[in-house]
Amino acid sequence: MKKIKYIALSLMFFTTFSCESLVEGINNNPNEISSDSFEAGVLLLKGIELANVSVQAGHQTRIGGMWSGQTKGLVLLYKSIYEYNLSAEETNGIWQNAYQGVVKQARVLREQTKNSPKAKQYAGITKVLEANALGTLASLFGDIPFNEIAKDEILDPKFDSQKNVFAGVQSLLDEAIADLGASTNSAVAEDLMLAGNVLKWSKVAHTLKARLYIYTKEYDKAYQEALLGIAATSDALAYTPPNIGNGSLNLNYKMINERGGYWGFAGSHLDNILRTTRNNAKTAENARLAYYNFDGASATNNKGIAAANTPIVLVGYEENLLILAESAVRTGKTTDGLAQLNKLRAHLASGKAFTKLNAADNLKYDAYVIADFEKGGMENVDNLVTERALLREIIEERYVSGFTGLLGFDDLRRLGTKEKDIAVLPPYNSATIKQYPQRFIVAQAELSANQNAPKDPGIFALTEVNK
């Protein structure tokens, strides 16, 4: 019997699991919503968005942060995961939220609102959310069910290759952009993030396309999409927790509040570089360090990135600028790449990128010039080729700016084996293991119930795009 019900606002970042495959019955609709007098279907949007917040910024994101050296696991479960011990049960949540919380509910919403005057608008928004969830899942796990989850008659959908999933997600984003372009820009009260603004949702879609092209190393396409992407912080896909109860809190705060002492920042690789090598004649990271330096033992002590109501950025302005910077340099537009990096540095210097907690903390991000990256320059004391030195700085900025997101873990896997000269390579978390994790283990519920689930290769197996 199906146990999975519609996930609405009451989800609040928690889910329960049945003994069935998490993708089984994804198109079934046992609780048909009546919309005789109002557009009831759109009420699902809040739950879809909250489920996607959990996919993008929940438990797996913290694991990726620990494995990429941005945070540390200190005791019990988090210490074990930090040292690369991961069970399949730990990923049940992200699969549940992605397939049932986002994908299934998005498709139901589109069906329920297909006759609405806003049908194209709802379709575009939910397709962006669906693409965000499935793109992240494919990045983190490699092969996942994709094509056959749309077929009601298939109980055990096959796993599609990571590259094929990325291609399918790109097509879904193209559909979303077309739907958004064909819809009126009217307010949607149920949209917790962008209030239904189709222009902003379209920019988010283009930045997501650029992100996927970064994954597949199609840097020319990434550049072109990012040009159409998020152009200001107000365009970012972000959720501001209302802080009205346990389920409406920043997820970093919530983790610390429930498991104080499990997880920390002090002594991490990110902590260390913000205190040392990130600082030079043109850069002072004291203010950003203070904002990032959360207290893992007491949630109420946090006023920065782990404060109760700090916005959770899923697709941001900083990421889009850094996609432009990296892809420009990689495609021979070095001057433009430096300009995009400096645009980000100007944004950081403005004080709008994060909250300056202490007035006395230094905050300095002067513009770089190309000479800084030439052999012997302040950012190239080890005499790399100029473009490689500039790329190294861009990748390190992605690592720092992407804290509490997935950019650091994404780049460690993308660059850590083949481009070590520009990758951020943190110390290993185990004295006996000298390799970085590359992926997560497929959810135990799926491995147990789906006869087409492949034998899991373990966390150190490279995914298809990184081989």
Do 241 and 255 touch, CB atoms closer than 8 A? no
Residue in the structure block whose two tokens are 């509490």: 404
Is the four-CA dihedral 224, 217, 398, 77 of positive or negative sign?
positive
Task: Give the model's pLDDT for residue 87.
Answer: 97
pLDDT, averaged per 10 consecutive residues of the chain (467 residues), comes to 31 40 55 50 95 97 98 98 98 97 96 95 98 98 96 92 98 98 96 98 99 98 98 97 85 96 98 98 98 98 97 98 99 98 98 96 98 98 98 98 98 98 98 97 96 96 98
Phi first, then psi: give them for residue 73, nearest 5 degrees: -95, 130
- 70 Rama class: left (phi>0) / alpha (psi -120 to 50) / beta: alpha
Three-point CA angle 303, 53, 450, nearest 5° = 140
pLDDT at 22: 57
Q: Half-sphere exposure (CA, 13 Å, Cβ side) for 134?
A: 35
CA distance 71 to 66: 5
Give the single-character DSSP code of 271.
H
In this structure, the dihedral spanned by the alpha carbons of residues 297, 303, 306 and 309, taken in order and rounded to 10 degrees, is 130
- Rounded CA gap, 318 and 226, in Å? 11
Please give the Cα distance from 453 to 456 (Å, whole number).
8
The reported pLDDT for the residue numbered 10 is 35
Element (H, E) at 145: strand 144-145
CB 135 within 8 A of CB 58: no
> Do 26 and 90 contact (CB within 8 A), yes or no?
no
Among candidates 256, 275, 253, which has minimal Cα distance to 266? 275
How many C-beta neighbours within 10 Å does residue 218 have?
17
Phi, psi of 364 (to 5 degrees): -145, 125
Query: What pLDDT was estimated at residue 389?
Result: 98
Asked whether the CA dihedral 223, 229, 231, 237 is positive or negative, the reply is negative
Domains, the chain, ordered by start = 9-32+43-239+260-459 (1.25.40.390)
d(CA 115, CA 314): 30
- What is the rounded distance in angstroms from the CA atom of residue 335 to the CA atom of residue 281? 21
- Helices and strands in the chain, H and E counts: 17, 8
